[in-house]
């Protein structure tokens, strides 16, 4: 009976405790900071594996925030369960990324229109070709509109979701193809959303640059992405 109320071994939430829209930072501590900073009356629904999740309200609208962990296998599990077992309709990844293009600067905000990847995540679908993971156009359009109204410049385009953080291969080839930045989760999220018939978007703040000595500390990554957060919360 308990398993029916908490339908997965990775999430302690009971059915009905998670909102239809979930914001997903990679770092569970960032989820805690977001909940305590932006949400009214946040209630913690998950502490399993310290992957904190909270539900509260923002301007009267119910919203949840939950960590995803690092990498596509991790967000693949959590987003799949949210879409399929908790009836979540929209997941907005809010994360950090390494800039590739020369016009990107630390703290710039990126809207991931599409997610290129070096991952084999799509293999499970047995597709007769290469799948192109893309965001929900509705969420992209809203994000750009919100950013304009808030006066926040954003870069919209392709991002790279990589399985490898300490990569021995240069990102120069991706740079030549106009890819804006590199992160580690969006492609799996976009594929899960496509398969489930749900909506997903990845918003990123540039935390460092692959070709310049610019970077944020771990504490700054955790606490200072306010421009991105204001866009995500208004969606």
Extract the tokens encoding 37.
């900073």
* Residues spanned by the domain of 95: 21-233
Closest CA to 78 of 50, 117, 56, 57: 50
pLDDT digits (tens, 9 = 90+) for 36-69: 999 999 999 999 999 999 999 999 999 999 999 9
Is the CB of residue 161 less than 8 Å from the CB of residue 204? no
- Residue 220's pLDDT is 74
208 catalytically annotated? yes
In a domain, 7, yes or no: no
- Residue 1's pLDDT is 41
CATH number at residue 71: 3.40.50.1580
Q: Which residues are annotated as a binding site for a purine D-ribonucleoside?
A: 10, 183-185, 207-208
Q: Which residues are annotated as a binding site?
A: 10, 26, 30, 49, 93-96, 183-185, 207-208
- Single out the catalytic residue among 89, 118, 163, 208: 208
In a domain, 10, yes or no: no
Gap between the Cα atoms of 93 and 25, Å rounded: 6
Q: Which residue has the tokens 């989820």?
A: 31
In a domain, 15, yes or no: no
| Average of per-residue pLDDT across 148-154 | 96
- Residue 187's pLDDT is 98
In a domain, 11, yes or no: no
In a domain, 16, yes or no: no
Give the rounded percent of residues in the chain with a pLDDT score beyond 70. Answer: 97
Looking at the structure of the chain, the number of domains it has is 1
Q: What angle in degrees, to the nearest 10, is found between the helix axes of 226-234 and 28-38?
A: 70
In a domain, 6, yes or no: no
pLDDT-derived band at 223, boundaries 50, 70, 90: low
Average pLDDT, the chain: 95
Strand, helix or coil for residue 57: strand
């Amino acid at each position: 009976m308990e398993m029916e109320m908490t339908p997965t071994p990775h999430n302690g939430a009971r059915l009905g405790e998670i909102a239809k829209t979930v914001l997903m930072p990679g770092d569970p501590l960032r989820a805690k900071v977001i909940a305590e900073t932006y949400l009214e009356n946040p209630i913690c629904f998950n502490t399993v594996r310290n992957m904190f999740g909270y539900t509260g309200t923002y301007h009267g609208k119910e919203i949840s925030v939950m960590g995803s962990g690092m990498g596509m296998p991790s967000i693949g599990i959590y987003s799949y369960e949210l879409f399929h077992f908790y009836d979540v309709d929209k997941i907005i990844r809010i994360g950090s990324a390494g800039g590739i293009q020369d016009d990107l600067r630390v703290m710039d905000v990126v809207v991931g229109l599409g997610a290129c990847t070096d991952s084999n995540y799509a293999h499970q679908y047995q597709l007769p070709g290469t799948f192109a993971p893309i965001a929900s156009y509705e969420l992209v359009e809203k994000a750009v509109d919100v950013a304009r109204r808030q006066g926040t410049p954003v870069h919209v385009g392709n991002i790279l979701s990589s399985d490898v953080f300490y990569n021995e291969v240069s990102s120069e080839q991706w740079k030549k193809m106009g890819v804006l930045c590199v992160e580690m989760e969006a492609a799996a999220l976009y594929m899960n959303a496509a398969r489930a018939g749900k909506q997903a978007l990845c918003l990123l703040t540039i935390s460092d640059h692959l070709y310049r000595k610019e970077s944020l500390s771990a504490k700054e990554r955790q606490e200072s992405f306010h421009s991105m957060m204001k866009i995500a919360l208004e969606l």
